[in-house]
């Protein structure tokens, strides 16, 4: 019986990956290891185990019997802002060490790790997998440390396989994240460009990301590192125009200086005692260019099923209630 373990498996990406892997019958048993149970019911073949990966992991503590073919690691503190700088290091690095040690203890030779485009730092120019790694945030530094830990794990034996994905901002059905909020803001006429309209933003559709994961699991390469965003990185003006056309509203035209927006967000934080999602760091991130190129996938002739427009059309088709409801 083929089995895989997904650490951080009840988060948005981990849960979505598990559902696809179960649907395609790639594994007969999928174990989700996380602090909290899944937010939605899981089908047969997917089981939940409560464990904190910041603590050592043993075969006894998880109680999984039989060989494990793959370990997928999505366990991380990742949201920015929202955590003290030390939390990224106290969570991401120990959990990666513990998962690597656990893999060795049960004889699992294959690890898939989710890193981040944050390891590149600012991406004002086209940035692919050969670009310098210059993280500037605690999250990005912690993810780079995790990559190095796993490279050391891989170097220990030629039989081991390590796949590392560096995704951009992932969006899609079941996630009320950046793109979901942007859709609702444009639909209600409450969106203004944060400064420049021509900054590029790299996003990745959840279904495309999972396509890439399955593609990489099938490859024989002992060590692969790749970016995942949709193939074309669009200017923010084109992103907004595409959304406006799909929800049948006027295209946004108005821009507000980023300094004013950040100051307003700071005032809102004070007035709401830090409870508002409108945060100056988040506002500045919205105005920061992310220009990522998924060059490794292009070179390997991976089939990108979606561009930005077709991904939104697919999302609306499978979950129309999410696309239309107010958030």
Mean pLDDT over the full length of the chain: 91
Q: State pTM to two decimals.
A: 0.92
Q: What pLDDT score does 18 carry?
A: 97
Q: What pLDDT score does 13 carry?
A: 95
Tokens of 267: 């005032």
| Residue 242: DSSP 8-state | H
**Could you report the per-residue pLDDT of 168-185, keeping only the tens digit for each?**
999 999 887 888 888 988
Residue pair 247/183 in contact by the 8 Å Cβ criterion: yes
Average of pLDDT values for 9-19? 95
**Could you report the per-residue pLDDT of 264-311, keeping only the tens digit for each?**
778 887 888 776 766 676 677 777 889 999 999 999 999 999 999 999
Q: What pLDDT score does 265 carry?
A: 76
pLDDT category, 327, cuts 50, 70, 90? Answer: very low
Residue pair 96/144 in contact by the 8 Å Cβ criterion: no
**pLDDT of 325 higher than 60:** no
Cβ atoms within 10 Å, residue 300: 15
**Could you report the per-residue pLDDT of 210-257, keeping only the tens digit for each?**
999 999 999 999 999 999 999 999 999 999 999 999 999 999 988 888
Cα separation, 54 vs 122, whole angstroms = 29
Picking from 7, 297, 4, the residue whose alpha carbon sits closest to that of residue 129 is: 297
Q: What pLDDT score does 175 carry?
A: 83
Residue pair 308/232 in contact by the 8 Å Cβ criterion: yes
Architecture of domain 3-167: 3-Layer(aba) Sandwich (3.40)
Q: What pLDDT score does 157 carry?
A: 92
Tokens of 178: 């950046």
């Amino acid at each position: 019986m083929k089995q895989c373990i997904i650490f951080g498996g009840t988060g948005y990406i981990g849960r979505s990956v598990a559902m696809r892997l179960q649907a395609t019958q790639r594994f007969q048993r999928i174990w989700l290891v996380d602090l909290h149970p899944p937010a939605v019911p899981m089908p047969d073949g997917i089981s939940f185990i409560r464990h904190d990966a910041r603590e050592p992991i043993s075969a006894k503590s998880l109680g999984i019997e039989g060989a494990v073919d793959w370990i997928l690691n999505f366990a991380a503190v990742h949201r920015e802002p929202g955590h003290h700088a030390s939390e990224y290091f106290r969570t991401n690095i120990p959990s990666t060490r513990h998962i690597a040690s656990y893999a060795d203890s049960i004889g699992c030779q294959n690890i898939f790790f989710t890193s981040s485009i944050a390891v590149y730092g600012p991406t004002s120019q086209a940035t692919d997998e050969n670009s310098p790694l210059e993280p500037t945030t605690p999250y990005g530094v912690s993810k780079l440390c995790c990559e190095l830990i796993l490279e050391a794990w891989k170097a220990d034996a030629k039989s081991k396989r390590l796949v590392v994905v560096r995704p951009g901002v992932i969006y899609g059905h079941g996630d009320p994240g950046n793109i979901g909020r942007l859709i609702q803001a444009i639909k209600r006429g409450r969106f203004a460009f944060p400064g420049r309209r021509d900054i590029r933003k790299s996003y990745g559709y959840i279904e495309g990301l999972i396509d890439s994961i399955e593609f990489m699991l099938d490859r024989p390469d002992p060590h692969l590192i790749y970016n995942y965003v949709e193939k074309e990185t669009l200017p923010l003006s084109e992103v907004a125009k595409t959304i406006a056309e799909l929800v049948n509203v006027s295209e946004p035209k108005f821009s507000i200086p980023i300094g004013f927006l950040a100051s307003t967000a700071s005032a809102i934080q004070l007035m709401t005692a830090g409870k508002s999602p409108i945060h100056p760091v988040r506002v500045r991130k919205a105005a920061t260019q992310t220009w990522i190129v998924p060059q490794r996938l292009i070179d390997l002739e991976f089939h990108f099923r979606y561009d930005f427009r077709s991904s939104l059309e697919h999302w609306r088709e499978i979950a129309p209630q999410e696309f239309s409801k107010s958030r």
